[in-house]
Every structure is written in structure tokens, then in C-alpha cells.
Amino acid sequence: MKDKIIQLREELDRLVAENHEQLEQFRIRFLSKKGVIPGLFSEFRNVAPDQRREIGQALNLLKQKAVEKIAALKDQLDRSSIRDKTETDLSRPAEEISIGSRHPISLVKDRITGIFQNIGFNISDGPEIEDDWHNFSALNFPPDHPARDMQDTFFIEKSEDYQKQVALRTHTSSVQVRVMETTKPPIRTLSPGRVFRNEAISARSHCIFHQVEGLYVDKGVSFADLKQTLFYFAREMFGEETEIRFRPSYFPFTEPSAEMDISCNICNGEGCNVCKYSGWLEIMGCGMVDPAVLKNCGIDPETYSGYAFGMGVERIAMMLYSVRDIRYFFENDQRFLKQFTSAL
Ligand code: PHE
């Protein structure tokens, strides 16, 4: 009996079923009432008492093994027959392919840069970790300017000597300095990128955001050129009817400086809570590059002049999509991100 059990065990190990009919034959052979295993159970009463314990255990294990093996073979056959059916059914619907969507900030950034690229601006890149010269000093920030203060800037290396300080860039004007230092005019360039300011995070401001800044340096560039370029941009970005206005402002690196507003495209200038009932929305800073900045970057201000502008991408995205809280852009919530397929 022992030999018989061993032989059946080996037979079970080798068992493969090509189809359900064959598997049913196996089941009948091993496990049906007249099958070999129940047959052994009925012979069990003839086993000598001193061997009963050992053979009884072996017999139980054999039965268990047969049940498990037949179930496993059935599972295998079931699965491959489903696969055969679906693989040959060419009319079945395709599996859904889920593709991600672009981030709204990328969409808006590309839309902004695209508008300026159409009129000959190229794109420049620069480091996010910046030295004092490129972020501040070359741009005419006096040594005690509040923007250098711990309040606004994330310093990486603090030093008694402000010129040795290293920080996360607070604007992408730093990239413009790098371009002016290495390129001969005419320069028409955009510097899109991530910037960092040590500000409290709220619905309206974040310590990380994105800018697109622009710079044009050539012979005879005037404020009229700046105005016309930004007017063109505003209409392309916000619609044909968009009006612009300039308000005098101050930046260390431009003179004269201005803030540009566009007519509120939600109430068309009538007044609403988005424009705080003024009819205007502030969208960027701009001005004529200060001659001292040109000089710092090795460009002769007697020969050349230039304009510069800079805007926050989140701010524009919030206006375009009516997003009321800047923090949505940084939380990576799929329910929010999935809603953007194109820049409006
Ligand atoms: N660099 C300024 C800022 O970050 C924006 C600006 C750019 C203003 C160019 C004028 C000219 O706020």
C-alpha cells in the first residue's frame, strides 16, 4: 500500500491537463467514488494495526494533494480560456488608457511664452540657487534694500559680507543678468521659472511660485515699444477687447517703472469682487532697464537701451480659470489637476 501511495503521489506531481475534459477524467480516476484514492481508503481496514498510523496519515495527505492539484489545474484552465476568448474577440472594447494631464501652471506658462516667442523672443534658463550679484547687486538693489532681508529671501549661505551670500532666487531677473553678461545686444529673451520668497502661505500668496520675465535690449528701445509689446500680449492672452493701463511704480532695476493692469475680463470693467470693484486687474511689473544695470552687465548704456517686464504665472492662471486659492496649484490633488486640458 505504501508503494501505491508513493506512486500516486508522483503521478499527481507530473499531472498536466490540456483541457477541461481531460481534467474531469483525472478527477474521476483519482477522487470519484470508484476512484483510486477512495479505493485505497476502503483497503485501509486490511492494514496491519502497527502500520495504520503511518499509512493513514500518508493516505490523508495524498487525498488532500489530489484535491488541491485538481483545483489548481482547473483554475489554470479557466484563466487561459478567458484569455483565449478575449484575445480572439476583435470587437471587444479597448481597455481604457489613462493619460495624465499637463499641470495648469505649465499650460499657462507655455501660453505666455508662446505669445512672446511669436514676436522673436527666445527662452533663457538659469539656476534656482543664486548668488547676491545676479539676484540683487547687478540689479541695482542697494546693500540695505529690504528685499535682501531675511523676511523675503531664503538664504542658503548667510554672511556678514552681503556680496558673499547665496540664496534661492527671488525673481528670474537673475537670469536676465546672466544673459546680458554673456550676450551682445540685440537681446530678446524670456526667463520663465520657479522663484522663492519667504512669505506666509495663504490663499493669495505662496513661498514658491513661477514667473515669466522678459527683456529686450537693442539700440533705440523706448517705452513706446514696451507699451505696444505688452498691449499685444494682453490682447493675445485675454482677448481682443482687453484694455491696458500703466501706473507709475518703483523697481531698483528699471527707470521709469510701472505696473500694468488689464481691464477686468470678468465684469468687463464694470466692477466685481475679483477686481475689487475697480474694473482693473494688476498683472505685471515693467519698465526701462536702468542704465546702471546695463553697465553692471557690460552693456554700454550710451549705445543701448532696453525694457523689462515680469509676471507671476499663478496669478494669471487664477484669473484665467477662476481659481480662488493659489494653494491648489501645489497640492497635487488629482481631482483639481484633471480639470485642465488647455490654457483658456
Ligand atoms: N522682478 C520683478 C519682480 O519679481 C518684476 C519685474 C521684472 C519688474 C522686470 C520690472 C521689470 O517682482
CATH code for the domain of 128: 3.30.930.10
Verify that 187 and 298 share a domain, yes or no.
yes
Verify that 143 and 50 share a domain, yes or no.
no
End-of-domain residue from the set 88, 117, 142: 88
Does ligand 1 have an atom closer than 6 angstroms to the CB of 193? no
3-state SS assignment for residue 283: strand
Distance of CA 138 from the midpoint of ligand 1 (Å): 14
Verify that 80 and 218 share a domain, yes or no.
no
> How many angstroms separate the CA atoms of 284 and 246, rounded?
10
- What is the pLDDT tens value at each position of the chain, 344 positions in all? 888 889 988 988 898 888 889 989 989 999 999 899 998 888 888 888 888 899 889 999 989 999 999 999 999 888 888 777 777 778 888 888 877 889 999 999 999 999 999 999 999 999 999 999 999 999 999 988 887 876 689 999 888 888 899 999 999 999 999 999 999 999 999 999 999 999 999 988 899 999 999 999 999 999 999 999 999 999 999 999 899 999 999 999 999 999 999 998 778 878 887 788 899 989 999 999 999 999 999 999 999 999 999 999 999 999 888 888 999 999 999 899 988 877 66
140 inside domain:
yes
Residue nearest atom 9 of ligand 1, based on CA coordinates: 309
Number of domains within the chain? 2
Cβ-based neighbour number of residue 258 at 10 Å: 23
155 inside domain:
yes
Q: Where does residue 195 rank: exposed (0-12), middle (13-18), buried (19+ CB within 10 A)?
A: buried
Verify that 166 and 110 share a domain, yes or no.
yes
55 inside domain:
yes
Strand order of the sheet with strand 155-157? Answer: 129-131, 166-168, 155-157
Give the predicted TM-score (pTM) of the model: 0.73
Q: Given the DSSP bridges, would you call strands 122-123 and 187-196 parallel, antiparallel or unpaired?
A: parallel
Q: Cβ(286)–Cβ(257) under 8 Å?
A: yes
Atom from ligand 1 closest to the CA of residue 307: 11
> How many angstroms separate the CA atoms of 190 and 122, rounded?
6
Verify that 81 and 109 share a domain, yes or no.
no
> How many angstroms separate the CA atoms of 123 and 177, rounded?
14
Verify that 20 and 163 share a domain, yes or no.
no
> How many angstroms separate the CA atoms of 36 and 20, rounded?
20
Verify that 200 and 259 share a domain, yes or no.
yes
Q: Which single residue is written with the C-alpha cell 494631464?
A: 101
Domain extent for 243: 104-343
Does ligand 1 have an atom closer than 6 angstroms to the CB of 173? yes
Does ligand 1 have an atom closer than 6 angstroms to the CB of 290? no
Ramachandran quadrant class, 244 (left: phi over 0; alpha: psi -120 to 50; beta: rest): beta
> How many angstroms separate the CA atoms of 222 and 122, rounded?
20
Distance of CA 309 from the midpoint of ligand 1 (Å): 6
The residue type at 102: R
Q: Which single residue is written with the C-alpha cell 498691449?
A: 231
Does ligand 1 have an atom closer than 6 angstroms to the CB of 286? yes
125 inside domain:
yes
**Residue partners of 338: CB distance under 8 A and separation at least 6:** 101
> How many angstroms separate the CA atoms of 291 and 299, rounded?
9
Q: Given the DSSP bridges, would you call strands 254-263 and 244-251 parallel, antiparallel or unpaired?
A: antiparallel
> How many angstroms separate the CA atoms of 244 and 264, rounded?
10
Does ligand 1 have an atom closer than 6 angstroms to the CB of 233? no
